[in-house]
């Protein structure tokens, strides 16, 4: 492990010393798609006037200029490009029938007009939304809590104006596609799958769409785990430098949700403040107080207040339920990556065993790598801290926090580089596949409406 980390540190030039106060020891952790009227509209009409039933309008933040109109003038050449894009949109896993291709062709024969401007702009807007945000409506994305920034980064009206200005409709729309290599692999898989294999093609399309739910560009350094694959990947410079087996949440209420968060720090040799549902509900508090020898062997320390309230904290050590590290990843779901003392479970084929959080094999290696990549510690410091046996929190540089993506792909490239279908352990495919059989949904919102389930983590579960 030390040799591996030395090579890693050399490769990423992450040997800078920890800045003052970067880590502290012995501290306890604190616990639009839019349906339209086929009416003639002025080219300068407002978005609301042009498309009164469209509700997924632009989100304007900060000092951004108001978006241009979503109805722009089109020439015949640009319309021809748009028609070609729609005719070939199945290559991207979308359905040409979702767009007003026939109306567009009929209107284009008469040459430039206000009607053509409205119809072409409408279809372009729909393509932008489907390629950028995904076609799947939010109510079909079960336990999906990722806020996709692409809607603000590539505002629909800006994309429309740019495409018409440069005269490259197809290229501009293609520029909205996910940059992750797995999207391209799925596209290739779709192209090589016969039309007669309808179920497989639908599964490919569903998983292509899942990539659109994420940010188009995930960054140059990030962690990404595919829950049904039980694997975590560390990616630097668009290259997977290491992968690790994982244990994820059991199906049901403790299923691991899909998130895009940031790792802000690494806790080496963590403590575990036991939830009251266990301290009081399972009687752990009294057992610790009544059996000091057993409590010491398990690493539990209990304090009882004057009001009778018992608090139990499991100290760092070989029996700690969080193992030897956890990654600080603040989020409303209380989900994070951590170690486990029950490392034999990583040999199981079915590793949906946890209480929601993600356990990672070779967790100390992961922790050191994250600390080095985030320049919270040098290689030497990371090794020293991890072997100290003391609770130590290493914070990453503010501008070097590492994105962490918890995803759910049932068809994807595995760690050996081969396309593989994974078991749909949480049954999340069905609503996505069903949505592909339905007409494109208008008035599509980007507001997440699924239930946020906050679980009092019990890292003992499954181990």
The pLDDT tens digits of the residues spanning 5-37 come to 555 544 443 333 333 334 455 444 333 333 333
Q: Are strands 411-413 and 231-236 parallel, antiparallel or unpaired?
A: unpaired
**Averaged pLDDT for residues 40-62:** 40
What does the alpha-carbon distance between residue 92 and residue 204 come to, in Å, rounded to a whole number? 10
The pLDDT value recorded for residue 447 is 81
Q: How confident is the model at residue 64 (pLDDT cuts 50, 70, 90)?
A: low
Question: Tokens representing 155?
Answer: 């505002």
- Contacts made by residues 101-108, CB under 8 angstroms, sequence distance 24+: 103/38, 104/79, 108/76, 108/79, 108/80, 108/83
- Tens of pLDDT, residue by residue over 346-361, are 999 999 999 899 999 9
The pLDDT value recorded for residue 302 is 94
199 or 321, higher pLDDT: 199
**Averaged pLDDT for residues 46-71:** 53
Q: What is the 3-state secondary structure (H, E, C) of 393-416?
A: EEECCHHHCEEEEEECCCEEECCC
Asked whether 129 and 156 are in contact (CB, 8 A), the reply is yes
* Domain 2-31+218-271+316-407 CATH assignment equals 2.40.440.10: yes
Q: Any idea which residue has 């199906």 for tokens?
A: 251
Which alpha helices (DSSP H) does 134-218 contain, by range?
150-153, 156-166, 169-174, 181-192, 198-213
Domain chopping of the chain, boundaries: 2-31+218-271+316-407, 47-216
Q: Considering the entire predicted model, what is its pTM?
A: 0.84
User: What residues contact 69, with CB distance under 8 A and at least 6 apart?
Assistant: 43, 44, 45, 46, 47, 50, 157
Q: Percent of the chain scored above 90 by pLDDT? A: 75
Please count the other Cβ atoms lying within 10 Å of the Cβ belonging to residue 452: 11
Q: How confident is the model at residue 456 (pLDDT cuts 50, 70, 90)?
A: low
């Amino acid at each position: 492990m030390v040799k591996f980390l030395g090579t890693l540190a050399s490769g990423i030039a992450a040997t800078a010393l920890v800045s003052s106060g970067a880590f502290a020891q012995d501290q306890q952790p604190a616990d639009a798609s839019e349906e339209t009227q086929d009416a003639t509209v002025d080219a300068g009409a407002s978005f609301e006037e042009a498309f009164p039933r469209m509700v997924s309008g632009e989100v304007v933040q900060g000092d951004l200029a108001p978006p241009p109109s979503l109805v722009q003038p089109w020439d015949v050449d640009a319309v021809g490009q748009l028609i070609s894009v729609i005719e070939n949109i199945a290559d991207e896993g979308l359905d040409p029938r979702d767009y007003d291709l026939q109306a567009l062709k009929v209107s284009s024969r008469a040459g430039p007009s206000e009607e053509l401007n409205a119809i072409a702009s409408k279809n372009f807007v729909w393509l932008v939304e489907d390629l950028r945000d995904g076609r799947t409506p939010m109510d079909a994305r079960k336990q999906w809590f990722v806020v996709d920034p692409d809607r603000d980064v590539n505002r629909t009206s800006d994309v429309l104006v740019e495409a018409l200005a440069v005269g490259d409709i197809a290229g501009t729309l293609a520029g909205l596609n996910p940059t992750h290599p797995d999207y391209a692999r799925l596209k290739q898989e779709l192209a090589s799958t016969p039309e007669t294999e309808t179920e497989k093609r639908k599964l490919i399309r569903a998983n292509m769409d899942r990539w659109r739910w994420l940010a188009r560009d995930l960054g140059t350094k990030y962690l990404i785990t595919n829950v049904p694959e039980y694997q975590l990947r560390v990616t630097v410079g668009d290259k997977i430098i290491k992968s690790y087996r994982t244990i994820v949440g059991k199906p049901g209420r403790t299923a691991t949700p899909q998130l895009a968060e940031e790792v802000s720090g690494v806790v080496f040799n963590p403590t575990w403040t036991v939830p009251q549902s266990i301290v009081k509900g399972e009687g752990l508090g009294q057992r610790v107080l009544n059996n000091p020898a057993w409590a010491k062997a398990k690493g539990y320390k209990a304090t009882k207040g004057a009001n009778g309230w018992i608090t139990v904290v499991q100290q760092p050590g070989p029996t700690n339920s969080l193992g030897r590290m956890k990654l600080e990843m603040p989020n409303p779901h209380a989900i994070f990556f951590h170690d486990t003392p029950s490392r034999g479970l990583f040999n199981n084929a079915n590793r949906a065993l946890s209480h929601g959080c993600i356990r990672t094999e070779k967790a100390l290696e992961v922790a050191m790598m994250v600390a080095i990549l985030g320049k919270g510690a040098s290689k030497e410091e990371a090794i020293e801290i991890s072997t100290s046996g003391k609770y130590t929190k290493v914070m990453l540089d503010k501008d070097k926090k590492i994105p962490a993506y918890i995803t759910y792909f049932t068809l994807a490239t595995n760690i050996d580089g081969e396309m593989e279908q994974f078991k749909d352990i949480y049954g999340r495919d069905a609503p996505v596949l069903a949505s592909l059989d339905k007409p494109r949904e208008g008035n599509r919102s980007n507001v997440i409406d699924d239930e946020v389930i906050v679980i009092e983590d019990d890292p003992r579960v499954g181990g």
